[in-house]
Amino acid sequence: MRGAYLPGGSKVELRTVPDPSPGRGQVVLAMRASTICGSDLRAIYREHLGEGPEAYRGVIGGHEPCGQVVEVGPDVRRLRAGDRVVVYHISGCGQCDQCRRGYQISCRSPARAAYGWQRDGGHADLLLAEERDLLLLPDSLTFLDGACVACGFATAYEALCRTGVSGRDRVLVTGLGPVGLAAGVLAKAMGASLVVGTDPNQARRCLATQVGAVDEQLAGGYEELKDMLGDGAEVAVDCSGNPSAQLSAFRHTRRWGRTALVGEGGRLTIDVSEVLIHRQLTVHGSWVSSTWRMAELLDNLERWCLHPEVVVTDRLALADAQAAYAVADSSTGGKVGIVWP
One-letter amino acid for residue 330 of the chain: S
Which is nearer to Zn ion, 157 or 250 (by Cβ)? 157
- Interface with Zn ion: number of residues (CB under 5 A): 9
Does 107 engage in binding with Zn ion (CB under 5 A)?
yes
What secondary structure, in 3-state letters, does 270-310 show?
A: CCHHHHHHCCCCEEEECCCCCHHHHHHHHHHHHHHCCCHHH
* Angstrom distance (rounded) from CA 151 to CA 33: 13
List the one residue from 62, 65, 67, 92 that touches Zn ion (CB under 5 A): 92
Which is nearer to Zn ion, 161 or 182 (by Cβ)? 182
List the one residue from 4, 90, 151, 173 that touches Zn ion (CB under 5 A): 151
Does 109 engage in binding with Zn ion (CB under 5 A)?
yes
List the one residue from 27, 76, 90, 99 that touches Zn ion (CB under 5 A): 99
Which is nearer to Zn ion, 184 or 220 (by Cβ)? 184
- Antiparallel, parallel or unpaired: β 233-238 and 170-174: parallel
Does 93 engage in binding with Zn ion (CB under 5 A)?
yes
**Nearest approach, Cβ of residue 288 and Zn ion (Å):** 7
User: Which residues, in sequence order, are CB contacts of 332 under 8 Å at separation 6+?
Assistant: 201, 203, 204
Which is nearer to Zn ion, 43 or 137 (by Cβ)? 43
Residues 312 and 144: beta-carbon distance below 8 Å: yes
Which is nearer to Zn ion, 72 or 149 (by Cβ)? 149
Does 113 engage in binding with Zn ion (CB under 5 A)?
no
* Angstrom distance (rounded) from CA 75 to CA 179: 36
List the one residue from 4, 36, 37, 239 that touches Zn ion (CB under 5 A): 37
- Would you tell me how many other CB atoms lie within 10 Å of the CB of residue 267? 6
Buried b (16+ CB within 10 A) or exposed e, 138-150: beebbbbbbbbbb
> Given the rule CB under 5 A, which residues bind Zn ion?
37, 39, 92-93, 96, 99, 107, 109, 151
